[in-house]
Amino acid sequence: MKAFTYERASSPEAAARAAANNPEAKFIAGGTNLLDLMKLEIEKPTHLIDVNGLELDKIEKTTEGGLRIGALVRNTDLAADQVVRRDYGLLSRALLAGASGQLRNKATTAGNLLQRTRCPYFYDTAQPCNKRQPGSGCSAIGGFSRQHAVVGVSDGCIATHPSDMAIAMRALDAIVETVKRDGTHRSIPIADFHRLPGDTPQIETVLEQGEFITAVVLPPPVGGKHIYRKVRDRASYAFALVSVGAVIQSDGTGRVAVGGVAHKPWRVDAADAELGKGARAAAGILLANARPTEQNKFKVDLVERTLGAVIAEARG
Ligand SMILES: Cc1cc2nc3c(=O)[nH]c(=O)nc-3n(C[C@H](O)[C@H](O)[C@H](O)COP(=O)(O)OP(=O)(O)OC[C@H]3O[C@@H](n4cnc5c(N)ncnc54)[C@H](O)[C@@H]3O)c2cc1C
Ligand code: SF4
């Protein structure tokens, strides 16, 4: 691991300022992703801004009837919260499908959204990877690509976003609240928060240099059945090959987001509108422009079958 300096942030604004003044600085929250990447010298911050002392660990009702989740709320606490379990069951289920109990005890809401891809070439510093080293090439294209993305891909990167929680957040239309270096705040719909790889796969979100996440806000509850189904190679402690997060109403309408298939949580409004017609219709729209590799084309069928199982479960 490279040497780094360290400070504890005194406020979100101070954290944003400190990071904006030093492009090689990084925030550290639970550290469950960042420290692994630092040990492998994939992330090489020269300065760490520890945000764990900030009072951003509350889950509060909003005046609109939704929920504001502090950036530092641990995944375990969020999954166990009574209001989340009752009104946003999809979020609780998605969280519990991820990582392990120990990791969830440390992992934070903001850190989870910003965790980096699990593409094996990204972790192997002996291999070209445009995300790790822009312009070096993509080893997954033409290489081992079973886990990789099938939609929204580019010629530069076919990595997936690994978060389970983010799939639920996408289906629930969450909003990411931030503070910038100049102290101004902004609210970013989760649909716009993560980027597709394009020519710059190293840029994964719309956050600006130093911009700090303070909370994630959920709109008022939408009712319906909340289901998260994750298909993976092992029954636990594995990332999704494909996951489906859905809220399905009694008349069959609803909303659906898919994980394991793209560089960001994948949702297509027109697919929501087709949910009542069944999995084939909705999955056909979700993956209409799929560009799978020979090794991961099974994901196209797997999305349809997983969505079919979710719809069947919702219908009882
Ligand atoms: C073995 C293993 C298995 C796992 N399995 C799963 C799984 O199945 N599903 C799943 O979804 N996840 C899984 N994870 C990932 C885990 O959920 C993430 O590592 C975790 O959520 C990251 O949160 P953190 O607080 O530890 O982030 P950190 O590691 O502290 O930070 C991650 C990134 O977020 C940035 N950051 C943190 N807080 C803020 C903020 N407030 N504003 C701006 N930037 C910020 C940091 O600078 C860093 O770049 C697994 C992890 C491990 C190690
Ligand atoms: S898929 Fe993306 S992360 Fe993986 S090797 Fe290619 S450029 Fe790197």
β 185-189/175-179 pair status = antiparallel
Confidence label for 45 from pLDDT (cuts 50, 70 and 90): very high
For residue 147, give the ligand nearest its CA.
Answer: 2
Which residues line the pocket of ligand 2, CB cutoff 6 A?
Answer: 117, 119, 121-122, 129-131, 138-140, 157-159, 201
End-to-end CA distance of the chain: 51
Q: Which residue among 55, 112, 132, 180 is best mutated to probe the pocket of ligand 1, counting the most ligand atoms within 8 A of its Cβ?
A: 112
Locus of tokens 């392990």: 100
pLDDT score recorded for residue 107: 98
Above 90 in pLDDT, residue 237? no
Per-residue confidence band for 80, with pLDDT thresholds at 50, 70 and 90: very high
Contact between 217 and 56 (Cβ < 8 Å): no
Task: Give residues (CB < 6 A) around ligand 1.
Answer: 26-34, 36, 51, 71, 98-99, 103, 106-108, 110-112, 114-115, 162-165, 212-213, 239
Closest ligand 1 atom to the C-alpha of 214? 41
- Mutation probe of ligand 2 site: the residue of 40, 42, 43, 117 with most atoms within 8 A of C-beta: 117
For residue 139, which atom of ligand 2 is closest to its CA? 5
The stretch 54-63 carries a mean pLDDT of 98
Atom number, ligand 1, closest to the C-alpha of residue 75: 21
Whose Cα sits closest to atom 8 in ligand 2? Answer: 129
Tokens of 49: 């801004």
Q: What pLDDT shows up at residue 246?
A: 98
Work out the average pLDDT over 71-87. 98
In whole angstroms, give the CA distance from residue 250 to residue 273: 14
pLDDT, residue 236, reads: 82
Ligand 2 centre to CA of 265 (Å) is 17
* Widest pairwise Cα distance in the chain: 58
In whole angstroms, give the CA distance from residue 292 to residue 300: 8
**Ligand 2 atom closest to Cα of residue 141:** 6
Q: What is the pTM of this model?
A: 0.98
CA geometry: angle at 103 spanning 102 and 109, to 5°? Answer: 130
Query: Rounded to whole angstroms, how far apart are CA atoms 122 and 112?
Result: 18
Phi, psi of 229 (to 5 degrees): -125, 125
pLDDT per residue as tens digits for the range 271-300: 999 999 999 999 999 999 999 999 999 999
What is the per-residue pLDDT across 130-158, written as a single tens digit (0 to 9) for each?
999 999 999 999 999 999 999 999 999 99
Q: What is the pLDDT of residue 69?
A: 99
pLDDT at 23 over 90: yes
pLDDT of residue 235: 85
